[in-house]
A and B are shown apart, each in its own frame.
Chain A
Amino acid sequence: AQSVTQLDSQVPVFEEAPVELRCNYSSSVSVYLFWYVQYPNQGLQLLLKYLSGSTLVESINGFEAEFNKSQTSFHLRKPSVHISDTAEYFCAVRNTGGFKTIFGAGTRLFVKA
Chain B
Amino acid sequence: DTGVSQDPRHKITKRGQNVTFRCDPISEHNRLYWYRQTLGQGPEFLTYFQNEAQLEKSRLLSDRFSAERPKGSFSTLEIQRTEQGDSAMYLCASSLGAQLAGLEEQYFGPGTRLTVT
Contacts and interface: CB of A to CB of B under 8 A. Distances in A.
B contact face: mostly helix, strand, loop, or mixed: loop
Contact of A49 (B31, B43, B55, B105): B105
Contacts of B4: 43
Chain B, interface residues (CB within 8 Å), range: 20 to 34
B42 A98 contact: no
A43 B31 contact: no
Interface in A4-49: 4, 9, 32, 36, 42-46, 49
Given A92-B42, A104-B42, A44 B91 contact: yes
Interface string A77-99: 00000000000001010111111
B42 A103 contact: yes
Contacts of A102: 45
Given A44-B43, A104-B42, A106-B42, A98 B105 contact: no
Nearest to A30: B102
A97 B111 contact: no
B62 interface: no
Contacts of B101: 96-99
A3 to B, nearest CB: 11
A46 B108 CA distance: 9
